[in-house]
């Protein structure tokens, strides 16, 4: 019997090398980068260049149309055409100081300035920042649009032509206790709270029989009213009242005037020590609904806590 000899080809029976990440990134055999050759990369680059150029042009074109047809100095829909007219054009009230928009508590110790919890200077700074931002000097280019207005008079025609009645808080309230020099009362147990009406385009108060919008503040509940020992209001020209504050009708309507400064009043509260007092302020005028306590229409609410504690 003849014995046959078998010879194995080592090269033929060697296992093929598996394709790894390196070969995927650059395949030298097919000259491919990330699975695509040069022609494929050129085609996909051209496609996405055209695609994103068209997409960007479409976006810029729509933006240009909006800018072209949408007024920049007033809302597009105003008065009865606005969404506010569903429930009536009803400006709301706001107050300062407000350290956080979610926090309506004013809590302080009048004898502590920089204490992290009860220091009163943070409220003074908050008021100063607000006043500097909203009631700073009128730019020179708009000073010609500021006019001197008499109290209890209507200047609606001038307002419609871009004019605004002068409102300078430092001058209006210089003879009141609610000034920077007096720390706005926060170094005492009689702090001053700034109360203002939100600006609503074209809104004019139907103030009869008042000369504008009255603002009344009181305790929210009977217990709060008992604890609130005294309320004093300071309106323009330093007018003091124990009954109500007044946002004079001469400041209305707001028509987007560049020199416009929204009027406000100061309300000084006398509260007992270590007693939380919840306070609500209402705008009282014929065409503002301030009876809706559920939605706080025409109202604002905050709490005042004056303490002698230090921690």
Q: What is the pLDDT of residues 101-114, one digit of tens each?
A: 888 999 999 999 99
Outline where DSSP puts E strands in the chain. 26-27, 32-33, 93-96, 105-108, 146-147, 164-165, 192-197, 212-219, 230-234, 240-241, 245-248, 264-270, 275-284, 299-306
Instruction: Provide the CATH number for the domain formed by 91-306 in this structure.
Output: 2.60.40.1660
What is the per-residue pLDDT across 53-62, written as a single tens digit (0 to 9) for each?
999 999 999 9
d(CA 121, CA 129): 12
Q: What are phi and psi of 139, to 5 degrees?
A: -55, 145
- Is the pLDDT at 26 greater than 90, yes or no? no
Per-residue pLDDT, averaged over 253-277, amounts to: 95
Q: How many of the other CB atoms lie within 10 Å of CB of 186?
A: 23
Give the whole-number percent of the chain exceeding pLDDT 70.
90
> Would the pLDDT of 222 be above 70?
yes
pLDDT digits (tens, 9 = 90+) for 233-257: 999 998 999 999 999 999 999 999 9
Q: In the predicted model, is pLDDT for residue 13 greater than 70?
A: no
Average pLDDT, the chain: 88
Contact (CB, 8 A) for 263 and 239? no
> How confident is the model at residue 10, as a pLDDT?
52
Cβ atoms of 200 and 91 within 8 Å: the answer is yes
What is the per-residue pLDDT for 5? 52
Sketch the domain layout of the chain as residue ranges: 32-69, 91-306
pLDDT-derived band at 144 (thresholds 50, 70, 90) equals very high
Lowest mean pLDDT among 221-225, 286-290, 293-297: 293-297
For residue 9, what pLDDT is reported?
53
Mean pLDDT of 79-107: 83
DSSP secondary structure letter of residue 18: P
pLDDT of 302 over the 90 cut:
yes
Instruction: Calculate what percentage of the chain has a pLDDT beyond 90.
Output: 63
């Amino acid at each position: 019997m003849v014995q046959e000899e078998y010879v194995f080809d080592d090269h033929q029976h060697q296992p093929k090398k598996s394709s790894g990440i390196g070969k995927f990134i650059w395949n030298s055999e097919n000259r491919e980068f990330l699975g695509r050759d040069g022609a494929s990369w050129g085609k996909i680059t051209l496609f996405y260049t055209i695609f994103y150029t068209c997409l960007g042009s479409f976006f810029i074109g729509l933006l240009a149309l909006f800018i072209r047809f949408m007024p920049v100095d007033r809302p597009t829909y105003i008065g009865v055409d606005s969404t506010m007219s569903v429930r009536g054009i009803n400006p709301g009230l706001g107050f300062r100081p407000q350290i956080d928009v979610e926090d309506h508590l004013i809590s302080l110790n009048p004898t502590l300035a920089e204490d992290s919890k009860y220091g009163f200077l943070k409220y003074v700074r908050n008021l100063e920042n607000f006043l500097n931002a909203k009631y700073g000097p009128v730019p020179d280019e708009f000073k010609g649009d500021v006019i001197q207005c008499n109290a209890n008079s209507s200047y609606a025609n001038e307002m419609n032509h871009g004019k605004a009645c002068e409102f300078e808080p430092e001058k209006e309230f210089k003879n009141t206790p609610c000034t920077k020099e007096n720390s706005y009362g926060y170094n005492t147990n009689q702090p001053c709270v700034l109360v203002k009406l939100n600006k609503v385009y074209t809104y004019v108060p139907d103030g009869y029989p008042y000369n504008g919008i009255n603002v009344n503040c009181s305790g929210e509940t009977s217990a709060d009213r008992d604890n609130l020992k005294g309320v004093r209001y300071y309106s323009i020209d330093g007018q003091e009242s124990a009954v109500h504050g007044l946002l004079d009708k001469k400041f209305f309507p707001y028509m987007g005037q560049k020199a416009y400064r929204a009027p406000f009043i100061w309300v000084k509260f006398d509260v007992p020590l270590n007693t939380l007092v919840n306070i609500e302020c209402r705008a009282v005028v014929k065409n503002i609904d301030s009876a809706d306590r559920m939605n706080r229409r025409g109202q604002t609410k905050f709490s005042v806590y004056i303490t002698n504690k230090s921690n």
